């Protein structure tokens, strides 16, 4: 059913996509304005860490007993992953009925995949009681389909270079797009930012008299051996390390705590115990996820490790490079090998450069069909540009077989470069 739903959604897609709110506003009005019938919302934008922040917020709020609607993108395996209604993934039958309703309201007017998906999600949320909603921006923010809501809280994770074909290649412009989710007099939690991004966000917030709650200013995070400390003027917490792997997850988790602190000010009863429980129970696939079960993991000799990450831009490469550096410090460090595929819209060399210092070699595989992507040979050329030895492979299975046949085991293998590839891996390894 999920594949059929995606095909129906894509059938309405115009040939040329332009950013703007006119299409979504027209459809929502025809549906009776469901976006105005939602619980208090947290609106999340940024380049990296949006999904992790959403996952932490949901885990913490649900640990406190709240019913939470969640809208995220993209999906990894099934379209249903995008829409979580009061804690449960949307059912196929409900998807089918809601899409029919949206199609009838839209008529023959062209509308983008993300516009109609967003309208469908808001319609679903408007009909089921919940105490909180968390809405993740699809791309940018200012002209993103989700930016028709009036949130109780805005949040912006680190801003970097991505979707430059739509958002431009200047960090100032990208930050301006992200800052577009800030609403008049509505507080905004701001994660770690480069100076230029921080200045743009502060300027936009000042125009709207929106209070900012910024990492490094109004709140601080300090990594510790057993976790991290969070400190603001009104709250000090020593917290355990989050369940999600990677030093960057400390920042993501702390940003979630900052959001919880703002929600507390809005009379949400999310206590310290719920924060700790959320940190321990949080799940977010394909974000430095170790695969320990399934056919792919089971094909490796004892002692080998298989990891999966969907990061696909330069900042993600930096984050993975930091993790590779930590792995390299282990007393019996395993040699690191990469298996990757990337879209041509991404800076492959920029992504691979931070990893090249620590990876012994790489294998490039074909990208999932339906996307403009580097061939394995072209991807290998990008790897060579940053000094990384790379060979093409016909698919994931062939890449693993080649590494096991030509390189000494045990080894650590990181599959990376795309969320689309990560979804394909999760399907194959299920």
* 236, 252, 360, 391 alpha-carbon torsion, rounded to 10°: 180
State residue 321's pLDDT score. 96
For the record, the structure tokens of 105 come out as 């309201």
Per-residue model confidence as pLDDT tens for the chain (430 residues): 567 777 787 776 665 566 789 999 999 999 999 999 999 999 999 999 999 999 999 999 999 999 999 999 999 999 999 999 999 999 999 999 999 999 999 998 889 999 999 999 999 999 999 999 999 999 889 999 999 999 999 999 999 876 555 566 689 999 999 999 999 999 999 999 999 999 999 999 999 999 999 999 999 999 998 999 999 999 999 999 999 999 899 999 999 999 999 999 999 999 999 999 999 999 999 999 999 999 999 999 999 999 999 998 998 999 999 999 999 999 999 999 999 999 999 999 999 999 999 999 999 999 988 788 999 999 999 999 999 999 999 999 999 999 999 999 999 999 999 999 999 999 999 8
pLDDT of residue 167: 66
Q: Which of 254, 281, 308 delimits the end of a domain? A: 281
pLDDT in the model for residue 388: 97
Which residue among 226, 258, 281 closes a domain? 281
| Per-residue confidence (pLDDT) for residue 139, from 0 to 100 | 87
Residue 172 CA to residue 203 CA, distance in Å, equals: 11
What strands lie across the sheet with 236-240, from one edge to the other? Answer: 219-224, 227-232, 236-240
Are residues 263 and 184 located together in one domain of the fold?
yes
Looking at the structure, tell me whether residues 121 and 266 fall in a common domain.
Answer: yes
Domain boundaries, position 251: 2-281
Out of 223, 254, 281, pick the residue that ends a domain.
281
Q: How many domains does the chain have?
A: 2
DSSP H stretches of helix in 73-180: 92-106, 113-126, 164-167, 171-178
Structure confidence at residue 334 (pLDDT): 97
pTM exceeds cut of 0.85: yes
Do residue 76 and residue 175 come from a single domain?
yes
Rounded CA-CA distance 75/158 in Å is 21
CA distances from 171 to 88, 152, 197 (A): 37, 27, 7
- Distance (Å, whole) CA 141 – CA 400: 39
| CATH code of residue 360 | 3.90.190.20
Contact, 365 vs 377, CB < 8 A? no
Q: Based on the domain organization, do 73 and 188 belong to the same domain?
A: yes
């Amino acid at each position: 059913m999920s594949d059929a739903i995606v095909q129906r959604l894509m059938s309405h897609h115009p040939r040329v996509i332009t950013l703007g709110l006119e299409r979504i506003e027209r459809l929502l009005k025809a549906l009776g304005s469901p976006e105005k019938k939602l619980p208090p919302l947290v609106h999340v934008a940024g380049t990296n860490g949006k999904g992790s922040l959403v996952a932490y917020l949901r885990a913490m709020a649900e640990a406190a007993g709240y019913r939470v609607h969640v809208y995220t993108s993209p999906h990894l395996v099934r379209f249903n992953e995008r829409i979580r209604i009061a804690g449960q993934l949307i059912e196929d039958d409900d998807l089918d009925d809601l899409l029919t309703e949206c199609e009838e309201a839209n008529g023959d007017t062209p509308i983008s995949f993300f516009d109609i998906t967003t309208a469908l999600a808001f319609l679903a949320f408007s009909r089921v009681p919940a105490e909180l909603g968390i809405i993740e921006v699809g791309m940018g923010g200012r002209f993103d389909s989700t930016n028709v809501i009036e949130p109780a809280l805005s949040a912006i994770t680190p801003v970097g270079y991505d979707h430059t074909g739509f958002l431009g290649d200047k960090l100032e412009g990208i930050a301006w797009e992200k800052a577009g989710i800030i609403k008049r007099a509505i507080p905004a939690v701001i994660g770690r930012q480069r100076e230029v991004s921080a200045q743009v966000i502060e300027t936009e917030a000042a125009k709207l008299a929106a209070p900012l709650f910024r990492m490094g200013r109004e709140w601080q995070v300090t990594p510790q051996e057993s976790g991290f400390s969070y400190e603001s003027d009104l709250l000090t917490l020593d917290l355990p390390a989050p369940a999600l792997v990677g030093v960057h997850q400390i920042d993501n988790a702390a940003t979630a705590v900052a959001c919880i602190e703002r929600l507390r000010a809005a009379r949400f009863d999310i206590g310290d115990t719920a924060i700790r429980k959320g940190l321990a129970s949080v799940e977010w696939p394909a974000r430095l996820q170790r695969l320990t079960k399934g056919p792919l993991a089971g094909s490796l000799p004892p002692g080998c490790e298989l990891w999966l990450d969907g990061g696909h831009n330069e900042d993600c490469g930096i984050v993975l490079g930091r993790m590779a550096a930590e792995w390299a410090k282990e007393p019996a460090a395993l040699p690191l090998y990469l298996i990757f595929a990337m879209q041509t819209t991404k800076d492959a060399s920029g992504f691979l450069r931070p990893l090249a210092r620590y990876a012994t070699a790489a294998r490039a595989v074909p990208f999932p069909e339906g996307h403009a992507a580097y061939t394995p040979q072209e991807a290998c050329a990008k790897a060579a540009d940053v000094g990384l030895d790379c060979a093409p492979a016909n698919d994931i299975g062939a890449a693993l077989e080649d590494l096991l046949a030509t390189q000494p085991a045990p080894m650590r293998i990181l599959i990376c470069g795309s969320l689309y590839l990560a979804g394909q891996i999760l399907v194959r390894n299920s």
